[in-house]
A and B are shown apart, each in its own frame.
Chain A
Amino acid sequence: MKRRIVYLLAALLVPASLQAMTPQEILVKVDKSINNFKDQTMEIELEFIESKNAKRSLLLTMLQKGTEKRIVRFRSGTEKGQALLTLGPNQMFVYLPTYRKVRRVAAHVKNQGFMGSDLTMEDISTAAYAPSYTAKQIGETPEAYILELYPKDKGSTDWKKLKVWVSKAIFGFVRMEYYDKQDRHRKTWVRKSYKKVGNCYMAFWSKMTDHNRKHSTVMKIISAKTDSDLPDSLFTKKGLIRGR
């Protein structure tokens, strides 16, 4: 109850100019809120949950520069030593340490589960939503705007739409629902524990559930920092091999 009152007060205190924002403006603001950094470094724990007794976790480091360049390095499990480099929506590379080789991964693979998780490459690589989606507001609660996001390029994604709840307080997604081309609700991504790191907000706990596979993945951010002037040379094939 107390929490509700706080949210209500927060909503009342929001300036009138914000209340009048268009859905697309809200989305732009979200992008700004969650991507307001030059680069970021995060230690992440992924927990794969198939059933109550079948859990597996994976530690990884994620380096990101801008919204396009990203490196994911696996720190534990059988994947330890493997790394992924993303240079844009259609450029991904994988490094396998035992082969000591880098191979390009087809762009289509971004629509498949990432290392057996419920998060796809697309989920991980989509940092900016406003350029890729058209927003439409379908509702509002005291705490959040409810938007539907429609892909501008229908061929670039498996989803017909995303239904998102945007926190009015921090302009971060608190819940995302994924609908397939037949308009069936297939996945849900709940994001919680937002903390401000540098100039942006990060959800330190999130859970993606694939309703079809009856499988979910929890993503916990263990540590995060922004704007450490990561060099461009890190985000190259050589950087992928050498920077372990």
Chain B
Amino acid sequence: MSRRRFLSRVADWIIRFHLPIVIATGVMIVGLSIFAPGVKYTENIEKFLPEGPETELFQKINKEFGGLNIALVGLTFDDLFTHDNLARVQGLTKALSGIPGVFHINSLTNTIDLTGNELGATVKVLVPEIVPKEKSALEKIRKKALSRKMIAGTLVSHDGKSALLVCVLRGDADMKGVAERLKAATIKLVGSKGVYFGGSPFLAEYMANGAQRDLQRLTPFVCAVILLIMFYLFRRPAGVVLSTACIVTSISCTFGVMNLFGLTLNLLSSSLPIIILAVGSAYSIHILTKYYDGYDAGLDRDGMIHLIFDEVSVPVLVAGVTTMIGFMSFYVMDIQPMREFGLLIGLGIFFSMLFSAVSIPAVLYMLAKNGGSQTAVPHERRGIGDSLLEQIGRRKHGLAALTVVVVVISLYYTTKIDVDMSTKHLYQKNTEPWLAERFLGKQFGGSIYLQLYVSGDMRDPIVLKELERLNDYIAVQDNVAGIQSLVEVVKILNKGFTNSARIPESKAKLSKDLLTLIDGEPWLKMLVNRTWSAALINIKLAEFDSLRINRLIARINDYTRLRSPGRLFAVDAESIPQTLAEKVREYRVKETLERLSLQLAAHRISISQAYLARAMRRARAVDPKRFLDVPTAKVTAYLTGDEAAVDLTNPAEAKRVSTAIIALIDAGKKRDATLAYLRGVVKPEFRNDKKNLTTANETIWETVRTLRRQYESKEIAAPLLAAIPPAQRSHEIETLIRTTLLDITDANFNAAAAPFRAKLPTVARSMSIRISGYPVLYEGMNRSVRRNNMNSAMVSLVLVFIVLALLFRSIVWGLIAIGPTTITLLFTFGLMGVLKIPLDMGSSMITSITLGVGIDYSIHFLWRLRRLGKQTSDLAATMATTGRAIVFNAVTVTVGFSILIFASIVPIIKLGGLTAETMFMSALLTLVLIPLVFHLFEPYLLARKKES
């Protein structure tokens, strides 16, 4: 059976069963559409993550550390440290903590104050449960808060006027829902004045709600404009109603199917109606245009239906299939929502195609009268097409050259497409997230965090010291506004017991005592996992700038590659062979000075390495015995104090006992000797108390060693401190230098960077570092989208080309058909390069829209030309009929979508603007380039066509 005969039979079938078709369509529409309103909106960024190591790490971190979704609530006051304002922050902290989905909230009023000094407490809260009213007490809180490294600039601004509530959401929480609840509760409690909402959850909430608001606000205008234009173009209300109904029902049926399959809307799929409108509206327009052509030509009802099926059903079907291929090719992507999205758009197009090709003819047959008086295609319509063709024919070489130039320029700018992963592209100036970002940047140094996942035994001082070194390195890098890590916590806690803010030397101290003190604290879960086998370093970034972030990531990677490629080499200082002692000392001095210069650089102090080295050489001459008196006083104080494990027979002799014990130590005696001496001077009840005697003996040995090391480092630090400009000299800097210099004489060290490592008795420890966080994820996500998008576009182009080549039974015609679309795509990418529009998940939709719509135009145009392609006037006739339908469709959607540039959400603006541009360019290039090709190669092409 020939194709024309088959199409005629289909037309007969439609005519015969038009009523059942109309009823079945109605039933299907109602049956599916009743489920449409039930579609829910959820935002789960995890679903958007491409399958791969970055996502796996993200999920691992989410699982081990309770979540990387951090919502930030900022509050500004004239002065935060008043009773009312602190009470406000406290009340809000408590209220927000109870919101489902919130894992933990850290604020000034619930943060623990880790203070460490010989007399002070170890862990306490900074703001009491009952906020004081007295000025002096409030001033005390202010002074403390602004002096704490972990609080000032993190939870309180340095000027003491702003507070920040850091809300960590559970990994499995509905980010948008929790953000909405946090926002509502905050506004209810403290109002909206001087309140800022930052961080990924609030941005996601703003984007989702903003997109919905924009679509709700602007869709009526878009629809009204589209209806008006369609009415102007068709001048037939029934045509306008049917075309609109076709799109509306396609969308509602798609939503109905979504609900039936339990699919939910997200930021991406909320653009579904717009895309279906853009790519699915053409089918009904072509059918209706053909129908009214038949009506104008005076055909009867049957004739009009036969005309539709004879002339436009195949191109509508092929156009629909090629568009579906374009979107369904998303199924090869590695992002689940993109796969769903492609399938749903494909489904929407299917509905649109079905209703256009089957239901509309049936409805038209049911409603229509026979055609009017037989007239030719109106003259004025032909006039526009003719004059366009005339111009194309006359300027064919100029136009060809122009096309080449446009292609070349587009290609050039395509390479300039912005790859910035920054979220700042998502919102406009003076909007809520923009203001929040500005506030957080100004008052708290930023709101974006990069995370380092460090695996290793976090109860091992060697691992923690390496972590400390990494922290020091990162702190001085560009774009780093602050660091939060376990290291700072451990150092402060240790200070509480030793008066020295450093990592304890002994594993027992660290793992057995210090860390068990804080084990189980909710805030600790953000820094170290439950088994202490991995830690998270949170790096606050000053700016979400791709280049700076990528540079930072590269530097961290370089550092870890050079420093600890997966392993550390612990060396016990006492086990070093005498022959290597000097080399080891040099290595440890070098390591310590490197770290010291990083620490000083963080305070904007630079001392030349040569000067540091000279100072160190002087330090070698230090004689530990010079510091005899101070340990004696300390040991005496211990033996007579309330922490002494034993009591002396004669407490008045404590100084003499201390001096004697220290003399034994200096004489090179072992612990047994001092223990024996001690046994002789304690009260009789302690002489056989081995435990308490040992405790006292060990305490004395440790006191002596610690004090001598401290004084030695003080001696070395003096010339270093002298080199610092007086204005930068402070007690803090002096303490920092002295504390860091203690590293040289620690009981153990990491020999990973020592060239003579192989000769040392080392014990390997594993430690590896991986980078994660939202900047990495966004980059991975966008990279994946770009890759997927390019792949799916290429796959679609090839498949579509095959379909078209088969349809036209010609490779050349297939190439002509995809030509305008390919150039539209290039032009759009070039435009994005010029306008600095990044190619991200949102803008990648444009590729599919271009493919979907552009190919449709070409198919319709070429199909018509092919049908008429026997005389020289074929192009003019095609232009007057199919060309007109293309213009109808392009003008309608272009103008309609242009309204979306008035949206507040940048992705909607981009989608609207780029869709309008794409529709316009696709139509223009179809109507200009195809005739141009025919003008240039007419004899060859038409001859080939006629032969075929």
The reply on B326 being an interface residue by CB < 8 A is: no
Tell me whether A102 and B498 are in contact (CB under 8 A): no
Residue in chain B with minimal CB distance to A104: B121
Contact flags (1/0) for B501-527 with A, using CB distance below 8 Å?
Answer: 000001011011111110111100000
Tell me whether A99 and B129 are in contact (CB under 8 A): no
Tell me whether B506 and A180 are in contact (CB under 8 A): no
Indicate the member of B112, B514, B643, B645 with the most A CB atoms within 10 Å: B643
Q: How far is the CB of B654 from chain A (nearest CB, A)?
A: 15
The reply on B94 being an interface residue by CB < 8 A is: yes
8 Å CB contact of A103 from B122, B128, B516? B122
The reply on A181 being an interface residue by CB < 8 A is: yes
Residues of B within 8 A of A184 (CB): 98
Residues of A within 8 A of B119 (CB): 104
A100-B645, A100-B699 known; A78+B496 contact, CB < 8 A: no
8 Å CB contact of A106 from B123, B508, B519, B698? B123
The reply on A213 being an interface residue by CB < 8 A is: yes
Residues of A within 8 A of B123 (CB): 105-106, 109, 112
Inter-chain CA distance A102–B513, complex, in Å, is 12
Residues of B within 8 A of A116 (CB): 519-521
Residues of B within 8 A of A212 (CB): 97-98
Tell me whether B125 and A108 are in contact (CB under 8 A): yes
Tell me whether B94 and A78 are in contact (CB under 8 A): no
The reply on B692 being an interface residue by CB < 8 A is: yes
Contact flags (1/0) for B334-364 with A, using CB distance below 8 Å?
Answer: 0000000000000000000000000000000
Number of interface residues of A (CB under 8 A): 46
The reply on B497 being an interface residue by CB < 8 A is: yes
Residue in chain A with minimal CB distance to B508: A98
Q: Which of A19-27, A188-196, A233-241 contacts B (4 or more CB under 8 A)?
A: A233-241
Number of interface residues of B (CB under 8 A): 44
Residues of B within 8 A of A96 (CB): 497, 509, 513-514, 517
Tell me whether A238 and B644 are in contact (CB under 8 A): yes
Tell me whether A113 and B699 are in contact (CB under 8 A): no
The reply on B381 being an interface residue by CB < 8 A is: no
Inter-chain CA distance A79–B520, complex, in Å, is 13
Residue in chain B with minimal CB distance to A116: B520
Residues of A within 8 A of B498 (CB): 99
Residue in chain B with minimal CB distance to A184: B98
The reply on A86 being an interface residue by CB < 8 A is: no
Contact flags (1/0) for A66-100 with B, using CB distance below 8 Å?
Answer: 00000000000011111000000000001011111
Q: How far is the CB of B632 from chain A (nearest CB, A)?
A: 19
DSSP majority for the A interface?
loop
The reply on B691 being an interface residue by CB < 8 A is: yes
8 Å CB contact of B645 from A158, A182, A242? A242
Q: How far is the CB of B367 from chain A (nearest CB, A)?
A: 62
Q: How far is the CB of B538 from chain A (nearest CB, A)?
A: 22
Contact flags (1/0) for B117-131 with A, using CB distance below 8 Å?
Answer: 001111111001110
Inter-chain CA distance A106–B122, complex, in Å, is 7
The reply on A139 being an interface residue by CB < 8 A is: no
Q: How far is the CB of B296 from chain A (nearest CB, A)?
A: 72
Indicate the member of A78, A100, A104, A105 with the most B CB atoms within 10 Å: A100
Tell me whether A155 and B512 are in contact (CB under 8 A): no
Residues of A within 8 A of B121 (CB): 103-106, 109
Q: How far is the CB of A49 from chain B (nearest CB, A)?
A: 12
8 Å CB contact of B130 from A54, A155, A236, A244? A155
8 Å CB contact of A97 from B98, B512, B515, B519? B512
Residue in chain B with minimal CB distance to A244: B691
Contact flags (1/0) for A112-155 with B, using CB distance below 8 Å?
Answer: 11011100000000000000000000000000000000000011
Residues of B within 8 A of A48 (CB): 520
Residues of B within 8 A of A113 (CB): 520-521
Inter-chain CA distance A102–B521, complex, in Å, is 21
Residues of B within 8 A of A117 (CB): 520
The reply on B95 being an interface residue by CB < 8 A is: yes
The reply on A101 being an interface residue by CB < 8 A is: yes
Q: How far is the CB of A95 from chain B (nearest CB, A)?
A: 9
Residues of A within 8 A of B497 (CB): 96, 99, 101, 103
Residues of A within 8 A of B513 (CB): 82, 96-99
A-B contact pairs, 28 of them (CB 8 A): A50-B530, A54-B530, A80-B512, A82-B513, A94-B517, A96-B513, A97-B513, A98-B508, A101-B643, A102-B643, A104-B120, A106-B124, A106-B125, A107-B124, A109-B121, A109-B123, A112-B112, A113-B521, A115-B519, A117-B520, A155-B128, A156-B129, A181-B94, A182-B98, A184-B98, A237-B643, A238-B642, A241-B643
Which A-B residue pairs are the 5 nearest by beta carbons?
A116-B520, A106-B124, A155-B130, A106-B121, A96-B513
Q: A98-B508, A109-B121 are in contact. List 13 more A-B contacts (CB 8 A).
A: A48-B520, A50-B530, A78-B519, A98-B506, A99-B498, A100-B695, A100-B702, A105-B123, A108-B129, A238-B644, A241-B645, A241-B692, A242-B692
